[in-house]
Amino acid sequence: MLGSALLQGMSVTAKNFVGSYFDKDRMTTIQYPEERKEPEQNYRNFPFLVFDKDADHLRCVACKICETECPPQCIYIEVMRDEAGKIIKQPKVFDIDYTVCMGCQICVEACPFDAIKMDHEYEFAHENRFTGLLMSKRELAKSNDYFHSIKPAEATEVDVRLAEEAAKKKKPAPAPKPTAAVVPAVAPKPATTAPMITVPDDAPFSPEQRVWLQKFLSQVAVASPGKPPAPTGAPDAGKASDAPTAVEAPTEEENPDLTNDAPWHDPEKDIGSRMGMVQGKPLAVKLYAAMGQTDCTACGYDCKGYAMALAAGAEKDPSLCVPGADETAAKVKELLDQAGVKYNA
């Protein structure tokens, strides 16, 4: 019938219109702003930063993963440093431009520290359309209690997961080293004469053979089961030896090129500059310089640990560095190829 679909649609509209006067579930219109509807837990609008103790100690470690993964590139982060220039795992600057943010939640999914979450707040009208919605770290920081108030189920799940991860990282206290026991000096045993080997009386030898054999056996002594005496001139066991003590070669963890104070452990330097600093260095150092330098641990290591695991062949995936992204992955593969180290392509 011509127009049946139109009539069917109008009947549904009329049914809902009339029913809204009698059924509260159909009364979907809210007289805003006098009336406000509480958002559902899975509602999301704009991101905010979570802190546990105070706003100066965010969960964020300034790894820049969210900045890298953000599709509209509306996140801007600067790493905090101490007076000596050493990196502190906190953001000095963390800005989000809400006029550009599209609420995709990719930053939340990419963050390995549960430091950024989506808010329920939606009233952000401002008279300045250029910088009025450029939110700074102070404006973005909200407590974990606030997170629980808007999304209790997700916040509880995050707390449990973080507690389990913290428990795994705790190492038992090392047992105290035993003190060296003083070994009392033992007086040397007096030397004993080795017993002689004699020819038995019933041995089937002639007198001449017996005399010759006895002379031969008189020169043979039964070997003592103890240790042979120390050679002449050997140092006394009770005295300290004057010979120099062997010193173990420093491990890669003790290598100054693999510490946080190395000049290439700086996320503000581009990868080209960092690689120029490590020309002629060992593979582990070159790999260290190729990392993102934020020690975000998203790969399961810090930058130094990931570099050493790759160099030793213990880690086969060269593309785990999220802050360094494709640039770091390409350089890592190049260095491993040059060194002949196998990895998972």
Domain limits of the chain? 47-164, 257-339
User: Tens-digit pLDDT profile for the chain (345 aa)?
Assistant: 778 899 999 999 998 888 888 887 777 778 888 888 888 999 999 999 999 988 888 999 998 889 988 999 999 999 888 888 777 889 999 999 999 999 999 999 999 899 999 999 988 888 888 888 999 999 999 999 999 999 999 999 999 999 988 887 776 655 555 555 555 555 555 555 555 666 677 666 677 767 777 776 666 544 444 444 445 444 444 444 444 443 334 455 568 888 888 888 888 888 999 999 999 999 999 999 999 888 887 787 888 889 999 998 889 999 888 888 888 999 999 999 999 998 987
Amino acid at site 2: L
pLDDT reported for residue 122: 87
Q: What is the 3-state secondary structure (H, E, C) of 59-112?
A: CCCCCCHHHHHCCCCCEEEEEEECCCCCEEEEEEEEEEECCCCCCCCHHHHHCC
Structure tokens at 225: 């089961």
CATH number of 47-164: 3.30.70.3270
pLDDT reported for residue 147: 96
Residue 22 CA to residue 18 CA, distance in Å, equals 8
pLDDT reported for residue 297: 78
pLDDT reported for residue 37: 84
| β partners of residue 143 | 51
pLDDT reported for residue 112: 87
